[in-house]
Amino acid sequence: MTLQYGSMVELEVGRDENIKNAIGEFILAQGWERAVICGAVGSVRDVTLTTPIGFELPPKVMKTPCDGPGEVLAFTGEIMKTELMDPMLRKIYSSDEPLFIHIHMSLAIAGSHVYGGGLDSGRAFRGLRVFFAEARMCD
């Protein structure tokens, strides 16, 4: 499969907004089937990250809460309609949601402590600008 990526588009996630909900609503409003997250700039709060704790599939994960505010250092991912997911991913991430939102991020919190992993949940603190490109199938 070959994908072609369109022009970059920016979403402003406002103060206290749920990050994944805002991204999902935006992608659905655009009518996109697939998108890639190229990055993000801003601050977040009360983030929970996941990381695998073993080698089995589907993986067992540990959730790490990062309470309070933090600065985003890296933010990348992919979004697609659930029916377009790889079958193995579907076994790992079972959901009735219309979109699969798969984000990896790292953030710094007070004391310059850095955490990273898969974004399970979180909210924008002051605000978060997320940059996307639509992905389309090409011949």
- Least confidently predicted of 16-20, 23-27, 83-87, 129-133: 83-87
Whether 102 shows a pLDDT value over 70: the answer reads yes
SS3 state at 1:
coil
Mean pLDDT, the chain, integer? 92
Q: The domain 10-137: what is its CATH number?
A: 3.30.1330.80
Predicted model pTM: 0.91
Cα distance between residue 25 and residue 101, in whole Å: 11
Residues of the chain above pLDDT 70, percent: 97
**Which alpha helices (DSSP H) does 31-122 contain, by range?**
87-92
Per-residue pLDDT of 22-56, as tens digits, reads: 999 999 999 999 999 999 999 999 999 999 999 98
pLDDT at 139: 64
| Residues sharing a CB contact under 8 Å with residue 108, sequence separation 6 or more, in sequence order | 70, 71, 73, 114
pLDDT at 7: 86
Domain ranges of the chain: 10-137
Across 123-133, average pLDDT: 97
Cα distance between residue 132 and residue 22, in whole Å: 13
SS3 state at 60:
coil
* Residue 125 dihedral angles phi and psi, to the nearest 5°: -90, -85
Across 52-76, average pLDDT: 92
Give 25 or 60, the one with higher predicted confidence: 25
Whether 77 shows a pLDDT value over 90: the answer reads yes
Cα distance between residue 132 and residue 13, in whole Å: 13
- Cβ atoms within 10 Å of 2's Cβ, excluding its own: 7
Across 77-101, average pLDDT: 85
Cα distance between residue 129 and residue 43, in whole Å: 9
